[in-house]
A and B are shown apart, each in its own frame.
Chain A
């Protein structure tokens, strides 16, 4: 209420907590354009995450290892259940699937170089396998996606593992869209579609539905590849207990569980922010499913979605994962959202750190683009070196924490090494609230 009478105290203009400035801006944008907002990346909203957990470290009851002298092993083998040639990695941090098309050829090469130098694997994406990617990746996981763009048996046999993508954390239940402006001649040819048109990626596989069919599909892929390589099943984090159990039942060697902070090349913002589970909430149910089936450590669990630091790696492993996968963080390591391009981000109406219009193909860092001029900005050798460094640092960080907790292998980290800072994180991770022995939902507590 306002009044012209200066003697009466005025009310302060109050912004709505419901109709916030960003919400109102989106309403105006939708009204002006008639289309929902599409962007890349994962959920930006604040959700309980690894930051809400702490390690306890050693004390009288735990004996630490000497940080710079005693060994802390980081090796992990994925695909030990059925594959004749499981993937042996030096570190439990892998590079998640990202497509050529969404990313430039230089970026894909850099990911391969960096992963190989760090002794880990990288993964193809929607659009198939490029010779550059295969050539620069010591260990390459080939994604088997609903679109089947570029799918062929020769590449299937060239792969070190196959990842059947049922869904991803940014958009569980949703398909994808590579907008026409990123469809170069090469991308169009690889996908058998005309140049310049929007290329839809279906939300479900064209030739199977449900876990019983998936079991037969896995059989087919094993028969085509001679039972040589591991078969992963990747799911978006929604019903982690049941999806993990069903993937195991279907015959998966590895389950990849991707939480809602996991990135995408292009999806509706409303989807990214409103569908799926936080990564933190996915891990314990997935581990419990494996334990209930007697398959924990026999079927490996890879966690992805918002992994950024060695602490995140260590926490995911302590909760029961065998390895993690990074996507967005790897792009940042290559140079994505680097402040040195601030003026160019400003020209695109955004700022370094917030740039997420990856689908438009105008990435100043030359990573999420098919523009040859922009793509040339990324030197794949230098990019690979940066990614290698980053992976090494993450590994050292995780080792540092593991040693402090008294473990000589990252896989020896355990839930008892952790406490939670918030009730929400305690409930989701099933880790006691700091200073207590209790978490919401703990069996036998009545809460």
Chain B
């Protein structure tokens, strides 16, 4: 286990050490101490390493992550795992707004709740939230899966493209062009796999699926009220 203490190491020093790891590195286990809400912790990683951040983080923890597994034992500030490409990011606590924003791949697991705009403009990432999510989540979501074991706030999936949304609890309201859709067997399989990988104690059959009505894909004046 390699340990980097942010009480004694500069942020640049810590990120440089993590970013320097190659595909063949033997230093696969890393521990970050005293994050104290610092921003941009463990960003731009691109190696099959496991990083445990012991505490809570500020903005953009694990931003643009590739391959790495980043585990935050506390809560995460805005934009955790933004634009993630691959790998896994796990937040034991809550996540602030924009969690998983524009993510293109990998798995983001939030064991607590996620604030507003979770999965905004998601482009292929899978996000599993054990708790609830805030308003405007999955806004303009293009691809990937957002799984919410609790409730969803207002305007879920507004202006949605092809992202799939699964919610077990209530949905306060759906956004423009987002509708409830039939849960088919292939969706249950996707959900089963994601719940298992995220360690979520829930059954796929308890969820409802939401997706795009695809009415706003090409501008039509008759739909102007939706804009």
Contact = CB atoms under 8 A, between A and B. Distances in A.
Interface string A163-193: 0000000000000010010000000000111
A420 to B, nearest CB: 43
Contacts of A5: none
Given A194-B161, A220-B43, A206 B121 contact: yes
Interface magnitude class on chain A = 20 to 34
A152 B219 contact: no
Interface stretch (A10-18, A197-205, A291-299): A197-205
Given A153-B85, A207-B79, A148 B11 contact: no
Given A192-B123, A223-B43, A152 B159 contact: no
Contact of A223 (B12, B117, B159, B221): B12
B123 A148 contact: yes
Contacts, number: 102
Contacts of B46: 153
A303 to B, nearest CB: 30
Contacts of B82: 207
Interface residues of B, number: 42
Interface stretch (B57-65, B164-172, B189-197): B57-65
Contacts of A193: 142, 161-162
Contacts of B174: none
Interface in B12-31: 12, 15-16, 19
Contacts of B11: 223
Nearest to B16: A226
B161 A202 contact: no
Given A35-B219, A219-B40, A147 B59 contact: no
A198 B120 contact: no
29 contacts: A34-B221, A35-B219, A148-B123, A151-B102, A151-B104, A152-B64, A152-B85, A153-B64, A153-B66, A153-B83, A153-B85, A156-B64, A194-B161, A197-B217, A200-B159, A206-B98, A206-B117, A206-B139, A207-B101, A207-B120, A208-B59, A213-B78, A219-B40, A220-B59, A220-B63, A224-B44, A225-B44, A226-B16, A227-B12
Given A220-B40, A220-B43, A223-B40, 10 more contacts: A152-B85, A180-B218, A194-B217, A197-B161, A202-B121, A206-B120, A207-B79, A207-B101, A216-B40, A225-B44
